[in-house]
Amino acid sequence: MATEMKQGWRLACGCAVLACLAACKPDGPSARPDSTKAEASPLPAATTDAGVAAVPRAAKKTVLFLGTSLTAGLGLEPEQAYPMLIQRMIDSAGLAYRVVNAGVSGETSSGLLRRVDWLLRQKLAVVVIETGANDGLRGVPVDAMRANLRQIIRRIRSAQPDVAIALIQMEAMPNMGRSYADAFRAAFPALSREENVHLLPFLLDGVAGDRDLNQADGIHPNDEGERIVARNVWGALKPLLR
C-alpha cells in the first residue's frame, strides 16, 4: 500500500500544489462549529437508534478531532468533512457522542502544540490527532515533529487523564526523499507504542493519488474520497467508543 500511495502522490506533487498547501495559514485556536444532526447518507451504517436521538446534547460525550486541512475539510462543505461523516456513523450506531471538528488548514505539529491547551478546556472522552502532513511538505525534521506529537499527547493526558487518545498514521510525500519518507512513516507507530495511544490507519488509504477521489489540487479528498476517509477512521475508532 505504501509503495502505491507514494507513486500516486508523486503524480500529485507538483511545485504549485506544494506551494499552495504550505501557504495555507492557520486560523488560530478555534474549532469549527460542530454538527450533531443525523442526515440521510448512503454511508453503510446501522439503523439510527431512536433512543440515542433523544439523549440531551449535554449528556453526550465529546470526541475531539485535532488536525490539518485534511480534517477541517478544505474545499468541502462543513458537513462533508470526515469528522462530520463519523458523527452520522456514531448516531446510526446508537452511540451517545458528539463530534467537534478542530481541524485548521495549514497547521503543523508545532501549531497544534501551541493551541492544544485552549482546546482542552472542554471535557473530552476521545481525542483523535491528525497532523504531520504540513510538517512533511515543509521538511520539518522527523525528530522535531515526533517531539511535538509527544508533548501534545502528554498535555492531553495531563489535563484529562481518563481521555482515550488516537493517533492517525500519516505519510510524507516523496519530495523530501525516500529516507525522510521512511523515517516519517515509522515515527507514528513508534510514538503510539512509547506513549500507549491507539494508532489509526493511514488517513488517505485508498484515496491518495487517485484523481477521481481528490479535488483539483490532487491532495485534498473530494466528497467521494472523504467518505472513504471516514470509513478508514471509523473502522478503528468505533471499538474505542464502545
As given in the structure block, the three cell numbers for residue 194 are 512509547
Label residues 163-201 b or e (16+ Cβ within 10 Å = b).
bbbbbbbbbbbbbbeeebbebbbebbeebbeebebbebe
Q: In what order do the strands lie in the sheet with 126-129?
A: 97-103, 61-67, 126-129, 164-168, 198-200
Tell me the HSE value of 129 on the side-chain side, using a 13 A CA sphere. 31
- The burial class, CB within 10 Å (0-12 / 13-18 / 19+), for 216 is exposed
Catalytic residues: 69, 217, 220
- Please give the Cα distance from 237 to 242 (Å, whole number): 9
First to last CA, the chain: 29
Residue 80 has a CB neighbour count (10 Å cut-off) of: 16
Whether 135 contacts 109, CB under 8 Å: yes
- Total residues found in the chain within this entry: 242
Measure the CA–CA gap between 203 and 111, rounded to whole angstroms. 20
